[in-house]
Amino acid sequence: MRINADFSKRAAVHFDDTPWVASPAPGVERKMLDRIGEEVARATTIVRFAPGSAFAPHVHDGGEEFLVLDGVFQDEHGDFPAGTYVRNPPTTSHTPAAAEGAVILVKLHQFDPDDRTEVTVATSASTPVQELFQDTAEAVTLQNWGPGQAVSLGAPGGIEAFVVAGSYRENGEEFSRWDWLRLPPGSRFNAIAGPEGAQVWMKTGHLAQMGA
């Protein structure tokens, strides 16, 4: 399976225009943003857990990072309410579940194989730019933009922007809650926040090796 698999091109997915697709686990559905592979894949996905649903225990050979968008995501390591950002590096394992239901943004099989850094961060709606993770290859932030704020960022290593709340316009296109944009290496991100402002999860630098 290949979805938005050409990393030399701009890619955008709007939440309201994209169907939910059933996963192998009962009660767990997905909206696929990008994907290379079948059930084990390099993938960026919005995942929705119905109350009481769960995945079987598994190991993340290629690592996993996720942001909880709604509800409380759970595994044997704890409860992760909305706004929690987590990185589970390669070789870690868990049993994902959601007793009361949850929605997460998750990226799989995109870690440096030698990365062993575990991260759990409660994000803030008041910090203009909150650093969630940074190494020599990538930076992950949560950004809170005021109404009408102009944002201009270079993206020599590519950029992904996911709207957690609010909205913004980029290249004449409006992005609102749970919409996703990916720009290739060498791009420039120029956006204007909507009248309510925007909270945006952003990842930069990580596409440098994917081709320009």
- The closest alpha carbon to 129, from 205, 201, 188, 204, belongs to 201
- Exposed/middle/buried for residue 121 (C-beta within 10 Å: 0-12, 13-18, 19+): middle
Q: What is the pTM of this model?
A: 0.95
Q: Strand 21-22 and strand 58-60: pairing?
A: unpaired
What is d(CA 195, CA 113) in angstroms, rounded to the nearest whole number?
42
What is d(CA 133, CA 155) in angstroms, rounded to the nearest whole number?
17
Domain region containing 70: 2-9+17-121
Number of domains within the chain: 2
Residue 41 and residue 5 in contact, taking contact as beta carbons nearer than 8 Å:
no
- Exposed/middle/buried for residue 112 (C-beta within 10 Å: 0-12, 13-18, 19+): middle
144, 202: one domain:
yes
Taking only the tens of pLDDT, the chain with its 212 residues reads: 999 999 999 999 999 999 999 999 999 999 999 999 877 678 999 999 999 999 888 887 888 999 999 999 998 888 999 999 999 998 888 899 999 999 999 999 888 888 889 999 999 999 999 999 999 889 999 999 999 999 999 999 999 999 999 999 999 999 999 999 999 999 999 999 999 999 999 999 999 877 43
72, 161: one domain:
no
At 91, list the tokens.
Answer: 């070789």
The three-state secondary structure class of 126 is coil
Instruction: Mention every residue, 6+ apart, whose C-beta is less than 8 A from residue 107.
Output: 43, 44, 45, 64, 65, 66
115, 164: one domain:
no
166, 194: one domain:
yes
* Domain end call among 70, 86, 121: 121
* Domain end call among 102, 121, 140: 121
114, 21: one domain:
yes
At 10, list the tokens.
Answer: 């701009």
129, 113: one domain:
no
96, 129: one domain:
no
22, 46: one domain:
yes
